[in-house]
Structure 1
Amino acid sequence: MSEIVVYELDQPAATRPTPGTPSGAERPVRRVHAAPAAPGTPGTTGPRTLCGKDTFAMETVTDWKPSEHPGGPWYPAEHASVVCSDCDAVMEI
């Protein structure tokens, strides 16, 4: 399975992003989910995460691919505390 990591972000902050600020940096990550790739388009997130949440409003993590980190976690280590437990359970299988 080709999985994609997506961030469920908190509501937008009232502040405006500054130039050079990474996308999503002004919006804290609420939860990290795993999602399958859309059928026929491996680089595109499918419509639902592995736990069943809609991915429409989520941000795809572009600098992290689980397959590039064999033996490591499927999510970026800096977000270990906010990993979705349901997605994590599916990824462990």
Structure 2
Amino acid sequence: MTEIIVVYELDRAPTAAGRAPGGASGAEGTPVVRQVHAAPAAPGSSALGPRTFCGKDTFAMEAAPWKPSEHPGSSWYTPEHADRVCSACDAVLEDET
């Protein structure tokens, strides 16, 4: 299987209270994670590929510091973002394991 890169779809315009529409909190003016996606690495490298497993463009997304390959036996996403995991990306990864 190809290397998996976790990426964040960010809400760059949180409300004045620092809350994103989904209820995720962040410091005022700080982008908050709207949804967590997984993307394959670009062919022949460890750089982020152009699309997530659910088909979204990764251009405006931010790579997460979490690397599933460094955490064998763990889920591909961090527990703190379990409530924001893209169900389509999760389903693709579930089918591959």
Q: TM bucket by the smaller chain?
A: 0.7 to 0.9
* Amino acid across the alignment from 1:8: E
Q: Percent sequence identity over matched residues?
A: 63
Q: Deviations over 1:33-77 (max 9, x none)?
A: 0000011221x110000000000000001x211111111110011
Q: How does 1:1-93 map to 2 (within 5 A)?
A: 1-13=2-14, 26-42=30-46, 44-61=47-64, 63-93=65-95
- Between the aligned partners of 1:14 and 1:69, the Cα distance in structure 2 is 34
* Amino acid across the alignment from 1:12: A
Q: TM-score, normalised by structure 2?
A: 0.77
Task: Give unmatched runs, 5+ long, in structure 1.
Answer: 16-24
SS of the counterpart of 2:54? coil
Task: Give unmatched runs, 5+ long, in structure 2.
Answer: 17-28
Large movers: runs of 4+ above 6 Å:
none
- Between the aligned partners of 1:45 and 1:32, the Cα distance in structure 2 is 14
